[in-house]
Chains A and B, each alone.
Chain A
Amino acid sequence: GAGVSQSPSNKVTEKGKDVELRCDPISGHTALYWYRQSLGQGLEFLIYFQGNSAPDKSGLPSDRFSAERTGGSVSTLTIQRTQQEDSAVYLCASSTSQGNQPQHFGDGTRLSIL
């Protein structure tokens, strides 16, 4: 499809393990965002990529969280040494390069830490 694609759709892992979440943005979109949505809550900004500029990591909750974006397209969010409080839905969104253009979201990865 032409939308934002995220994988896996669901991930269950044991506390202490590392996880990688993938986001494939809409073709041609240079801006990419990661958000975290805890159960019944709104969206918490994590990190933003725009083209070749340095990413804005100001929303990452701890140094266990990191993200990269290779070739200006696909992005991977990595959580090391997962904790139970990391359980949430992780949403990725992309938009065109213009600052006020709406973000288009993927369906998210539901992460459960046992």
Chain B
Amino acid sequence: GQQLNQSPQSMFIQEGEDVSMNCTSSSIFNTWLWYKQDPGEGPVLLIALYKAGELTSNGRLTAQFGITRKDSFLNISASIPSDVGIYFCAGQRGSGTYKYIFGTGTRLKVLA
């Protein structure tokens, strides 16, 4: 099925470093979501974005809805070991379109 381009695919970082990842599409989206998935569990919603240019924070996490509406970014500040996991973006094209298309995931590993 169709998936969004998400990068990087994986990253190893030192504890305390900041992390950035992004999701891009050739299509315009009206909603962007960011999820985190821990091993053996389902994805958990981190941040939801509904407006182009919107910047939303959730603790150390900040996500932005790209102004072109074709991309979104997630930043994690001062990473800690429990940030390890797989981060997924998901985009929805608009009203009347209920399907979310998911990114391929960014696998984050934090080195203590």
Q: Which residues of B are in contact with A by a Cβ distance under 8 Å?
A: 1, 3, 6, 30-31, 33, 35, 40-45, 48, 50, 88, 90, 92, 95-105
Contacts and interface: CB of A to CB of B under 8 A. Distances in A.
A11 interface: no
A58 to B, nearest CB: 9
A31 B6 CA distance: 26
A100 B40 CA distance: 27
Contact of A59 (B1, B3, B6, B98): B1
Interface residues of A, number: 24
A56 B97 CA distance: 11
A50 interface: yes
Contacts of A41: 104-105
Q: Which of A91, A100, A103 counts the most B-chain CB atoms under 10 A from its CB?
A: A100
A77 B92 CA distance: 24
Nearest to A36: B1
B100 A103 contact: yes
Contacts of A104: 45
Contacts of A56: 98-99
Contacts of B42: 4, 91, 93, 105-108
A42 B103 CA distance: 6
**Top 4 A-B residue pairs of the complex, sorted by shortest distance between their CB atoms:** A105-B42, A43-B102, A100-B31, A44-B1
A93 B102 CA distance: 13
A105 B31 CA distance: 18
Contacts of A44: 1
Contacts of A105: 35, 42-44
